[in-house]
Amino acid sequence: MSLKNDRFLKALLRQDVDVTPVWMMRQAGRYLPEYRNTRKQAGDFMKLCQTPELACEVTLQPLQRYAFDAAILFSDILTIPDAMGQGLYFAEGEGPKFRKVIRSAADVERLPDINIASELSYVTDAVSLIRKELNGSIPLIGFSGSPWTLATYMIEGGGSKDFRIAKQFMYDNPEAMHLLLEKLASAVIDYLNAQIKAGAQAVQIFDTWGGILTAQGYQEFSLAYMKKIIASLHTENEGRQVPVIVFTKNGGQWLESIADAGCHAVGLDWTTDIGVARHRIGERVALQGNMDPTMLYASPKAIRKEVESILKSFGKGNGHVFNLGHGITPEVSPENVAVFVEAVHEFSSQYHD
Amino acid sequence: MSLKNDRFLKALLRQDVDVTPVWMMRQAGRYLPEYRNTRKQAGDFMKLCQTPELACEVTLQPLQRYAFDAAILFSDILTIPDAMGQGLYFAEGEGPKFRKVIRSAADVERLPDINIASELSYVTDAVSLIRKELNGSIPLIGFSGSPWTLATYMIEGGGSKDFRIAKQFMYDNPEAMHLLLEKLASAVIDYLNAQIKAGAQAVQIFDTWGGILTAQGYQEFSLAYMKKIIASLHTENEGRQVPVIVFTKNGGQWLESIADAGCHAVGLDWTTDIGVARHRIGERVALQGNMDPTMLYASPKAIRKEVESILKSFGKGNGHVFNLGHGITPEVSPENVAVFVEAVHEFSSQYHD
């Protein structure tokens, strides 16, 4: 099926586009009143993820308001450990939690070998449904958490301030940690390939917590497994390339090695100057990012100025997908998002021939 | 007065030493039972900071246990805004809070012009007393928060997850923010000079929150003011150089510009490979750091291995002060700290002629 707007896919492959494409991490989310309504009706966050019709509904909501150049599947990064039987739940106002935690090599060994793709058919069903509803307007992004990021939650039993338990496990039981990451990498491969088969036209690996590691730890415990995943993805489907984006929050010091991991694009958080990043790795991969998400609390004037400044820093030519440097936060006003999206399209045309 | 052990000062000036000197951020702190006792007797955290005898007592406590090569004044980074009348207090288990907050240009203008050195005589009295008690054994480090870091707390009214209010203020009222930072920089200059005059033999600027800024924002709102401070410090006292250390947590992408700020040493958090940092800036300044603080929860074997690996990464030659990449956390076992300190001295002799 042909795409009416394929800017996003083209930019990821560093091909010519008319304006810089833009989407936002967490664009289907709590800052939108219509999302909060659907979420309320669903009753429970997991119900929202597990009901393809509802996941599809919230995925499409931001597209009614804004001229985003891509949709992203609405789901949670922790579906894989949940499918492995760890018992994911969301305590009100507390973020994700697991009923079971991994604290020993035996716990890792006990993790069941399951058919991730069939266990997570609610995700692939959502992908198919969203593709149908998008009807060729813009491409759909699938995603997964990175093995390291999934492991931190599974070991800690939820989020953490310093990930002390996960790191202690890594430092004291590196073999068990590697076994866990190995199992998770296999699951992520099956999961992303199933999303691609169901219709995801690009995939992003969210390495939310890779940036809490040492430089050496990052290579060994996070990047190595993402590399392995990328090498096993079916990155051609429907006669088109399926680009892979790697986003390591706080990974700005390691861009060269991320760019060498086999991905098509590297996501940047807002602490990296995108012009510097382009100079470092932009001839090898596309770059995605990177406005400070808290910028969306500022005035429209300040937002427009910042968009201009990021576009200017990247400069002329292709290979840039505009995004925030991390997910949009719940208290942002939807009006400011409109200012942001419009500014990207308005100011970027001068940077493309 | 001559110093029995001047390794720390020598390493900061990139002079020859026998073994790599070591100290720990927050070495006087809650992981020590004797600290918790004194804190309990003081009743209140501010009382501990404001009573020179008690501040001196806790400063010296870790030196009874460990062969640290420097002592650091026990105090809080938020004494300056407190002296400006913002009403610092510590809610149990919640971190620092301010009774007043800065939310407008008028709030900034209303901040009183005070004589910081005399308002904070409890700090300089503590410095003098600690110097007397140290009796020339090891040098004493004075410190201050960076203007940006102080400003974030003053605007937010305490710590924050995303510093949204502080950033919104910066994005929407850059002039008012610059006025606030200007006022704070003046205060920090007076404060650090008073500490030096009272006997601090090195000073560290803690830029705890500089790393949440964009690359451009960091230059303009944090580093520029630290530069200004460094240029105004009296870095000679008692016939000796008083080295200045700048520590921006999460500043690994900006090391070159930090090294150019006029400081003698750059503090590194654990996400930077110290060998890479040395290659980037180590011919210009000394480096301080940078073991992951959560490493102290691991086994003695793992701790020793990590110390070896950091020393090896830095390599032969001078200009390294060993430290953690951030402050030690309260639940660490004091035994593991002994393992850490001993490992630094034991393994580092081979890297010095």
- Hey, where are the domains in chain B? 7-351
Region B318-344 average pLDDT: 98
Tens digit of each residue's pLDDT (9 = 90 or more) over B142-179? 999 999 999 999 999 999 989 999 999 999 999 999 99
Let me know if B14 is a catalytic residue.
no
Whether the per-residue pLDDT at A310 is higher than 70: the answer is: yes
Query: B76: annotated binding-site residue?
Result: yes
Torsion angle in degrees (nearest 10) through CA of A76, A78, A83, A87: -110
Report chain A's mean pLDDT, rounded to a whole number: 97
Whether the per-residue pLDDT at B2 is higher than 90: the answer is: no
Whether the per-residue pLDDT at B102 is higher than 90: the answer is: yes
Let me know if A66 is a catalytic residue.
no
Amino acid at A53: E
The more confident residue out of B111 and B1 is B111
Residue A84 is encoded by which pair of tokens?
Answer: 């492995």
Whether the per-residue pLDDT at A72 is higher than 70: the answer is: yes
Per the CB < 8 A criterion, the answer to whether A209 and A149 are in contact is yes
Tens digit of each residue's pLDDT (9 = 90 or more) over A104-127? 999 999 999 889 989 999 999 999
Region B331-344 average pLDDT: 98
Q: Which residues numbered 240-259 in B keep a CB inside 8 Å of some CB on A?
A: 250, 252-253
Region A47-51 average pLDDT: 95
Whether the per-residue pLDDT at B1 is higher than 80: the answer is: no
Residue A2: pLDDT band with limits 50, 70, 90: confident
Tens digit of each residue's pLDDT (9 = 90 or more) over A260-276? 999 999 999 999 999 99
Pick the CATH number of B7-351 from 3.60.21.10, 3.40.50.1220, 3.20.20.210, 3.40.50.300: 3.20.20.210
- Inform me whether the C-beta atom of residue A293 falls under 8 Å from chain B C-beta atoms: yes
Whether the per-residue pLDDT at A93 is higher than 80: the answer is: no
Whether the per-residue pLDDT at B351 is higher than 70: the answer is: yes
**3-state SS string over chain B?**
CCCCCCHHHHHHCCCCCCCCCECCCCCCCCCCHHHHHHHHHHCCHHHHHHCHHHHHHHHHHHHHHCCCCCEECCCCCCHHHHHHHHCEEEECCCEEEECCCCCCHHHHHHCCCCCHHHHCHHHHHHHHHHHHHHCCCCCEEEEEECHHHHHHHHHHCECCCCCHHHHHHHHHCHHHHHHHHHHHHHHHHHHHHHHHHHCCCEEEEEECCHHHCCHHHHHHHHHHHHHHHHHCCCCEECCEECCEEEEECCCHHHHHHHHCCCCCEEECCCCCCHHHHHHHHCCCCEEECCECHHHHHCCHHHHHHHHHHHHHHHCCCCCEEECECCCCCCCCCHHHHHHHHHHHHHHHHHHCC
With a pLDDT cut of 70, the percent of chain A lying above it is 100
Interface test with A, best of B31, B165, B253, B329 (most A CBs within 10 A): B253
The nearest alpha carbon in chain B to A218 belongs to B271
Let me know if A280 is a catalytic residue.
no
The nearest alpha carbon in chain A to B300 belongs to A172
Q: What is the ipTM of this complex?
A: 0.95
Whether the per-residue pLDDT at A92 is higher than 80: the answer is: no
Region B315-340 average pLDDT: 97
Task: Point out the residue among A163, A172, A302 whose CB comes nearest to the CB of B299.
Answer: A172
Whether the per-residue pLDDT at A6 is higher than 80: the answer is: yes
Region B246-264 average pLDDT: 98
Tokens 């990821």, located at residue: A12
pLDDT of residue A244: 98
pLDDT of residue A91: 81
Residue A320: pLDDT band with limits 50, 70, 90: very high
Among A41-50, A88-97, A206-215, B112-121, the range of highest mean pLDDT? A206-215
Instruction: Enumerate the residues of chain B whose CB falls inside 8 A of the CB of residue A276.
Output: 215
Let me know if B30 is a catalytic residue.
yes
Least trusted range by pLDDT, from A100-109, B41-50, B85-94, B330-339: B85-94
pLDDT of residue A254: 98
- Inform me whether the C-beta atom of residue B333 falls under 8 Å from chain A C-beta atoms: no
Query: B319: annotated binding-site residue?
Result: no
Region A34-40 average pLDDT: 97
Report chain B's mean pLDDT, rounded to a whole number: 97
Region A140-152 average pLDDT: 98
Task: Point out the residue among A216, A272, A298 whose CB comes nearest to the CB of B171.
Answer: A298
- The upper half-sphere exposure of residue A298, i.e. CA atoms within 13 Å in the direction of its Cβ, equals 23
Region B44-52 average pLDDT: 94
Give the closest residue to A212 by CA, choosing from B162, B293, B330.
B293
pTM of the model: 0.96
Q: Which residues numbered 190-249 in A keep a CB inside 8 Å of some CB on B?
A: 211-218
Whether the per-residue pLDDT at B92 is higher than 80: the answer is: no
Whether the per-residue pLDDT at B227 is higher than 80: the answer is: yes
- Inform me whether the C-beta atom of residue B186 falls under 8 Å from chain A C-beta atoms: no
Task: Point out the residue among B164, B217, B302 whose CB comes nearest to the CB of A171.
Answer: B302
Using CA atoms, how far apart are residues B202 and B55, in angstroms rounded to an integer? 18
